[in-house]
Structure 1
Amino acid sequence: MDEAATTKLDVVLFPWLAFGHMIPYLELAKRLAAWGHAVTFLSTPRNVARQPPVPADLSPRLRLVTLPPPTSTADVPPEKNELIKKAADGLAAPFAAFLEGAVAGGRRPDRLIIDFCHRWLPPIADEHKVPCAAFLIADFVVPPKWCPSWPPAVAYRRHEARWAVGAFERNASGIIERTRFTIYRSCGEVEPGAFALLTNLFRKPAFPAGVLLHPDPANDDSSSRSGGVRSESVIYVALGSEAPVTANNLQELALGLELAGVRFLWALRKPGGMSMHSADVAELLPAGFENRTRGRGLVWSGWVTQVAVLAHGAVGAFLTHCGWGSTIESLVFGRPLVMLPFVVDQGLIARTMAERGVGVEVARDEGDGSFGRECIAAAVRRVMVEEEGNVFESNAARLKRPFGDQRRQDQYMYELVGYLKRYSDGRC
């Protein structure tokens, strides 16, 4: 695949509007630009404004381009996400104008890399003879018969299956059928056999992009641990930017952390994913909670650089919603997990990680997904305090090796660029 290093591509990436999608798409864009390819990252004005500045060495090759409307999924509560989907459909005309202008200006993209939701995009791309690939950042109550190798526990709970059916039944996009291959943020060492399975399932090639996370060695002290004692470590708590968390969820989570008796750092977001002022925190937490946990716990309502926190040697575990991005970030640093999934693929990821022995899932009601403080405390103590936690820590450290093998991760990117080139010029 010498062409991956010599032939330069012009690639356009267009993610779904949620941060959990934009972040890996932007990481992929940076990797491609670092290899010398021209990359355009498309999103709405508000989303582009929220992205970190493009590194100076990549700015000649990576550009962020805005399309209306000026919104993101973080601006709309979860129960109104259908409005976002309708708004996203309104991006079809601006995208068509963008692509028409690019082609007319002599800059026809070699490849469009698109997300699960853009059902209207492949026909526009076909019009302009630009091939598409789908980049899917992650993939009801029993494992499907066509996948006999799945452990029986890796399946949706009843309340998750109900959500999944409702979410996808009315919004099936046919994206996979209109692309030549699919790309996944993963690797074979982490998900053995997954790419062969996906290739057979979709009847087109499935390729890994690797984990798309390059830890800064200067800031990675994850191999050190304060005093080397788990009971003196801190559990980092964060449920993502857009998890549909209720006020009652936050109350029970807080009381569970208090009951567990461990040290914690909680990056707290207001229900619905909206940012909040520190004055709002007291309204969401149980009365007196911050005073009772003062000295061993901190609730922070401002921005948290999650990778930097997980890299810190004092962190002993991560209480997470199990979004794929957060899961990767935790395992890159070998952190065991306390898992509290809510929607989409999070339940399947949690059960898969439990099967891998890197943590425990919080027990919940099978029907409605509710949980109580005792269940939070029990899961936290299993990972942070009890003897079983040593096993979780050891297994997480073992998974850290393939995630952190930078030479292998660079090889995935090298191979992916070769696939993009071969498939864009029609040789495959």
Structure 2
Amino acid sequence: MDLETLSSPPLHVVVFPWLAFGHMIPFLELSKRLARRGHDVTFVCTPRNAARLGAELSDRVRVATLELPAVEGLPEGAESTADVPQEKVGLLKKALDGLAAPFADLIAEARRKPDWIILDFAQTWVWPIAEEHKIACAMMLIIPVSFLAFVGPKHESEAHPRSEPEDYMVPPPWIPFPSTLAYRRHEAEWMAAAFRPNASGVSDSHRFWQMHRPSCRLIVHRSCPEAEPRMFELTTQLFAKPVVPAGLLLPDDVEDEDDPVNGGVAASSDDPSSFAATMRWLDAQPRRSVLYVALGSEAPVTAAHVQELGRGLELSGARFLWALRRPAGLLPNDGFEARVAGRGVVRDGWVPQVRVLAHAAVGAFLTHCGWGSVGEGLFRFGHPLVMLPFIVDQGLIARAMVERGVGVEVPREDDGSFSGEDVAAAVRQVMEGEVLARNARELQKVVGDRVRQEQYIDELVENLQRYKVKWLRVNPR
């Protein structure tokens, strides 16, 4: 770091995530870490989301709320992806686009002009506002950097157009080494749709590629090189700008996460104390004998998926704790809970996921492979994975974890369906697989190193200071 950067005053950073708790929570974690290092943060979200986050913030983190405008077809009071079905997420993006004017006012009226705006993929209208006020921007992506590599820069995508699902079922030609970066057909159909306009009027890919604008000085990922070897170097070359790690941004304290938003699965109005009976059941189980089952809060899980997953858990003979999100479907069939009584618990209310994963009785994790869940289950606690991916980056993550020998993916048909028999086989392989468990623990030691994770935040701050100086030299205020 040069002397000019070392002598820089504390930063003022505006942090603005997409309206999904899987995005807001890591953005909030980044805000807290920046504040602990003496920087001032303005965290932007909507009123209901701010209330649900319920964060105890420091004097250096200010929450600025913007009222989401009404959009025809969007349920009243919907302010996050947790409030709408998958088919209405495009309308939520349309509502988000209505925040351009109030956000511009927020920036113009700020008592101290921001040094940086760290935004998510969705806010295409932030860039011209930042450029008008000569503020540097960074796009922060809460997904693995391998997804950025798969999507590729706009010029590569235009040179190698992809329009059909088959185009996404092979690694892209700009990956210069052997790679697992490819989707199954049911995942590829979702990816193809992401390159077409949705109900907001624009495609997700159009939003994503705004990172090519000159005001985007950095691309920041909730990841690290230990989790994704070679990918930061590759994407920095592909996008011709620094792609830098923020680390995994996992909360510090297990107890702090025991609430229906921050660490919970299937958030509900249940009293958290009602989970006490389930914890007593866990306490009575042998060490590393329980499979924790959770498919996140937003994966497009159908009743048929629930039926076959339940059948597979029953056939496997394994002990399990299943965080079942309703109203995805009914239990597999009549009498399921009675037949698995004693060795299996189905929980359809609030589940403190991180506290469960930290429990000594838990030995593996059946997951949809969301990057946050993989970070919690594998990188933080060293659990091998049974993997059932659905959309976005989940398939790429599953393939990478298979390659690293820390999990087993459940086979799927082209339409995304799977059988209970295949679930049972994958569960047995993971629960009985000593090599998988050992590999997972070894990977956790490397990726989950807390000292190194904090160093990534320090290095990110250095980059913010350095590139702020470079931005001001080209764009003096």
1:61 counterpart = 2:86? no
- Look up the SS of the partner of 1:47 in the other structure: helix
Question: How many residue pairs get matched?
Answer: 403
* Amino acid in the other structure paired with 2:456: Y
Aligned partners of 2:29 and 2:251 also within 8 Å: no
Measured in 2, the distance between the counterparts of 1:248 and 1:218 equals: 35
Matches within 5 A, 1:399-418: 399-418=443-462
2:269 counterpart residue number: none
Contact between 2:13 and 2:114, CA under 8 Å: does it hold in 1? yes
1:394 aligns to 2:438 (yes or no): yes
Aligned match of 1:206: 243
Give 1:91's aligned residue.
99
Amino acid of the structure 2 residue aligned with 1:311: A
**1:113 Cα shift?**
0.4
* 2:308 and 2:332 in contact (8 A); partners too: no
Alignment partners' CA distance in 2, 1:211 and 1:131: 23
8 A Cα contact 1:358 1:393, kept in partner: yes
State the Cα distance separating 1:410 from its structure 2 match.
1.4
Query: Matches of residues 43-192 of structure 1 in structure 2 within 5 Å?
Result: 43-54=45-56, 58-69=57-68, 70=77, 71-102=79-110, 105=111, 107-138=112-143, 139=147, 140-151=168-179, 153-170=180-197, 171=203, 172-173=206-207, 174-178=209-213, 179-192=216-229
- 1:214 shift after superposition: 4.7
How far off is 1:354 after superposition?
0.6
Distance 1:46 1:285 in 2: 35
Give the Cα separation in 2 of the matches to 1:226 and 1:379. 25
In the TM superposition, what are the counterparts of 1:231-270 in structure 2 within 5 Å? 233-270=289-326
Matching residue's letter, 1:249 = H
Q: Deviations over 1:297-334 (max 9, x none)?
A: 11112222222111111110000010001111112110
Partner of 1:416, secondary structure, is helix
Equivalent pair of 1:246/1:271 in contact (CA under 8 Å): no
Contact 2:16 2:45 in 1 (8 A): yes
Per chain length, whose mean CA-contact separation is higher, i.e. which structure has more relative contact order (CA < 8 Å, sep 6+)? 1
2:230 corresponds to 1:193: yes
Deviation of the 1:426 alpha carbon: 2.2
For 2:12, the equivalent position in structure 1 comes to 10
Gaps of 5+ in 2: 69-76, 148-167, 198-202, 257-281
- Pair 269,228 (structure 1): closer, same or farther in 2 beyond 3 Å: closer
Measure, in 2, the Cα distance between the counterparts of 1:236 and 1:5. 49
When residues 113 and 48 of structure 1 are mapped into structure 2, their CA distance, relative to the original with a 3 A threshold, is same
Structure 1 vs Structure 2: percent identity of aligned residues? 58
Rounded Cα–Cα distance in structure 2 between residues aligned with 1:74 and 1:168 = 23
Residues 286, 361 of structure 2: 8 Å contact kept: no
Q: 2:36 aligns with which of 15, 34, 37?
A: 34
Moved >3 Å (runs of 4+): 1-7, 214-219, 225-230
In the alignment, residue 165 of structure 1 is paired with which amino acid? Answer: A
Give the AA of the match of 2:295.
Answer: L
SS of the residue corresponding to residue 181 of structure 1 reads strand
Tell me if the contact between 1:117 and 1:175 (Cα under 8 Å) persists in the aligned partners: no
- Paired position in structure 2 for 1:354: 402
Q: Secondary structure at the match of 1:113?
A: strand
Matches of 1:422 and 1:293, distance apart in 2: 58
CA distance in 2, matches of 1:186, 1:255: 35
Give the aligned partner of residue 340 of structure 1: 388
C-alpha distance in 2, partners of 1:166/1:190? 28
SS of 2:248 mapped into structure 1: coil
User: Structure 2-normalised TM-score?
Assistant: 0.80
Deviation at 1:148, TM superposition (A): 3.0
TM-score, normalization by structure 1: 0.89
Amino acid at match of 1:92: A
Q: How does 1:200-349 map to 2 (within 5 A)?
A: 200-216=237-253, 233-271=289-327, 283-331=330-378, 332-349=380-397
**Pairwise CA RMSD:** 2.3
Code of the residue aligned with 1:30 in structure 2: it is: K
Distance 1:255 1:411, change over 3 A: same
Aligned AA for 1:155? A
Sort the Cα spacing of 1:177 and 1:154 in 2 relative to 1 into closer, same or farther, 3 A: closer
Deviations 1:209-247 (A, max 9, x none): 11112554899xxxxx999977x6111111111111111
**2-side partners of 1:59 and 1:408: how far apart?**
24
Gaps of 5+ in 1: 220-224, 273-280
Amino acid at match of 1:247: A
Give 3-state SS (helix, strand or coil) of 2:171's partner: coil
Question: Does the CA contact (< 8 Å) of 1:4 and 1:417 recur in 2?
Answer: no
Structure 2 CA distance for aligned equivalents of residues 156 and 426 of structure 1:
39
Q: Tell me, yes or no, if the aligned pair for 1:112 and 1:131 is still in contact at 8 Å.
A: yes
Instruction: Answer whether contact 2:254 2:355 (CA < 8 A) is retained.
Output: no
- Whole-angstrom CA distance in 2 between matches of 1:218 and 1:123: 41
Name the CA distance, whole Å, in 2 between partners of 1:53 and 1:81.
25
Q: Deviations over 1:55-96 (max 9, x none)?
A: xxx520112221121511111101222111211111212211
Matched residue, 2:164? none
Q: Distance in 1 between matches of 2:221 and 2:15?
A: 14
- 3-state SS in 1 of match to 2:130: helix
Q: Which residue number in structure 2 is paired with residue 278 of structure 1?
A: none
